[in-house]
Structure 1
Amino acid sequence: MTAALRLTDRKREAIIQAAIVEFRANGFDITSMDKIAATAGVSKRTVYNHFPSKEELFAEILNKLWTSISAQPDTVYRNDLPLRGQLEELLRAKLYLLADNNLLDLARVAIAATIHSPERAQDMVARLGEREEGLTVWIREAQADGRLKPVDPCFAAQQVQGLIKAFAFWPQISMNQPALSPEMQTTVVESALDMFLACYQR
């Protein structure tokens, strides 16, 4: 990679980070490309060279959020292993992801912007829904193996992830609470496992 290309990449990343700061502080509609340029320490022309519009810059932030979530590996269902251990691995991976400060910042920006403009949320919600499919597939395969009751797997997946997010996502997003301690993470996971398996395990 040439020095010029590295500088271009650094400027692009600086613009994205500046946009995250400004969108989070002031909201999407109030934030201007001029302000983003000033925060990034680049010219307005440089910003427009990378992102022709504020909407495209916001779309890149959503893309980074999507990429962060997509980087998490799925756990493949195993019929020779206990359900609890497999589900615990899935939930702990979710907790690890939700504790990432960069992801939380991206999520705050995305949620704040989409509250004021619901149409902006449609693509994000659809793509995040696709990402949740990993747990849904795991539940469906456990059902096919006769180890879980025949409930709607999408509903069950959303339900158990809701138990996690109630402690490890929404308080951090809405009230800026700190990430869960390791002890609290264990408490949340064990409780979610107890409730899910008591309800759905055959």
Structure 2
Amino acid sequence: MCPISKSSPAPQRLTDRKRLAILQAAIDEFRGNGFEATSMDRIAATAGVSKRTVYNHFPSKDALFAEILVQLWEKSTALIDLTYRPDRPLREQLLELLRQKLRMLDDANFIDLARVAIAETIHSPERAQSMVARMGGKEEGVTIWIRAALADGRLKPLDPVFAAHQIQGLVKSFAFWPQITLGAPPLSKDMQEQVAASAVDMFLGCYAKD
């Protein structure tokens, strides 16, 4: 899953098309070469635009990288979406949410760019802080779902944000961090199902009302 979806409608204005080309070129360069080795000259060449055009859209490499990080976050959270259904079993709904999460984490493009992003934000914490500030109060699908189930009286009292981090942490300990830090292979479909099921059972064992 690249942050810039190639299946999205093509922008009509020339300036929008150039901006999209710059973002996609930057993604390719950051993925292939890392942050430090990527220059605005390389991005301009890959995008097929002048360096001046790149600077017209993004005042610095930091600003361009920050925009990619925000889009990475927004695209990943948009993919994790399931409207809470009071008439359906909690386990069935949570399993579908985690399956969506695992499909996203199984994408090599997402893992490659996330690896670059994490390395650079560790190197430059202020960049991570800027990204978090831009995200504002947005909540992702798992948090929204938990909040709805709580309001429906089907979960014990909990902090929805904390609980969402808990259940997704169980998933990421198998399907994100080993791939990011150790270069582990993606999980098999059977292993994805096992991870999702065990995380859901642990979550409901702790928080579901009897």
Cα deviation, 1:88-138, whole Å, max 9, x if unaligned, reads 111111111222222223322221211111111024345397343x32232
User: Of the candidates 77, 82, 88, which is equivalent to residue 81 of structure 1?
Assistant: 88
Match of 1:155 in 2: 162
Q: 1:90 aligns with which of 92, 97, 109?
A: 97
TM-score where L is the length of structure 2:
0.78
Aligned match of 1:115 = 122
How far apart are the structure 2 equivalents of 1:68 and 1:16? 14
Q: Does 2:142 align with 1:135?
A: yes
1:31 to 2:38 alignment: yes
Of 53, 64, 70, 1:57 maps to 64
Tell me by how many angstroms 1:40 deviates: 5.0
Give the aligned CA root-mean-square deviation in angstroms: 3.0
Q: Which runs of 5+ in 1 are unaligned?
A: none
Task: Tell me what 1:185 maps to.
Answer: 192
Deviations 1:9-67 (A, max 9, x none): 3x655543443344345543453223434555654344334433212221231233134
Instruction: Give the paired residue count.
Output: 199
Unmatched 5+ stretches in structure 2: 1-9
Structure 1 residue ranges (4+ consecutive) displaced by more than 6 angstroms after TM superposition: 1-4
Return the alpha-carbon distance in structure 1 between the equivalents of residues 71 and 158 of structure 2. Answer: 33
Deviates more, 1:151-160 or 1:181-190: 151-160
Structure 1 length normalisation: TM-score?
0.80
Q: Quick one: percent identity of the two aligned structures?
A: 66
Which amino acid in 2 is paired with 1:146?
A: G
